[in-house]
């Protein structure tokens, strides 16, 4: 078995804050036509990792929900990466963009969906943290105990 003693409530909180920061960075780097809900749906488990409540931080239901969300978002991100030309052509036909999609537009669309996919895969780690039981009592240092 692997030694997972480094996982405590402080570690979970740091990962939750990192996930929120990554969500904001990915949102501002991706093109504006990438659906924002593919990114911000992962704020729910990130906020749950930050909340100072042991019952929420150890909730296996939130961990399972995170894995289901990762599968759904990964499906849409892969679909968007592989069908970037179709996405942009539909936007042109519907009048959402003014010019026909160029090669750089298609590349930017694919790269945006790739970033969403990488962020979703990072959230597999966040979801796995819910399955490791921690307690706020464990976070007390040995020096503070005396």
In the chain, % of residues over pLDDT 90:
45
Predicted confidence (pLDDT) per residue in 16-27, tens digit = 999 999 999 999
pTM of this prediction? 0.81
In the chain, pLDDT over 70 holds for what percent of residues?
92
Query: What is the reported pLDDT for 98?
Result: 79
Q: Tell me the average pLDDT of the chain.
A: 85
Q: Is 95 left (phi over 0), alpha (psi -120 to 50) or beta?
A: left
In the numeric block, which tokens belong to residue 31? 């093109």
């Amino acid at each position: 078995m692997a030694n997972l003693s480094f996982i405590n409530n402080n570690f979970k909180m740091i990962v939750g804050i990192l996930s929120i920061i990554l969500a904001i960075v990915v949102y501002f780097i991706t093109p504006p036509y990438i659906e924002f809900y593919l990114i911000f749906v992962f704020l729910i488990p990130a906020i749950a990792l930050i909340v100072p409540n042991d019952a929420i931080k150890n909730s296996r239901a939130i961990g399972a929900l995170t894995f289901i969300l990762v599968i759904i978002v990964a499906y849409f991100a892969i679909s968007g990466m592989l069908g970037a030309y179709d996405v942009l052509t539909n936007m042109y036909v519907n009048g959402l963009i003014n010019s026909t999609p160029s090669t750089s537009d298609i590349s930017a669309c694919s790269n945006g969906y790739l970033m969403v996919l990488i962020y979703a895969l990072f959230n597999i780690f966040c979801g796995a943290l819910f399955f490791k039981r921690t307690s706020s009592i464990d976070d007390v240092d040995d020096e503070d105990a005396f």
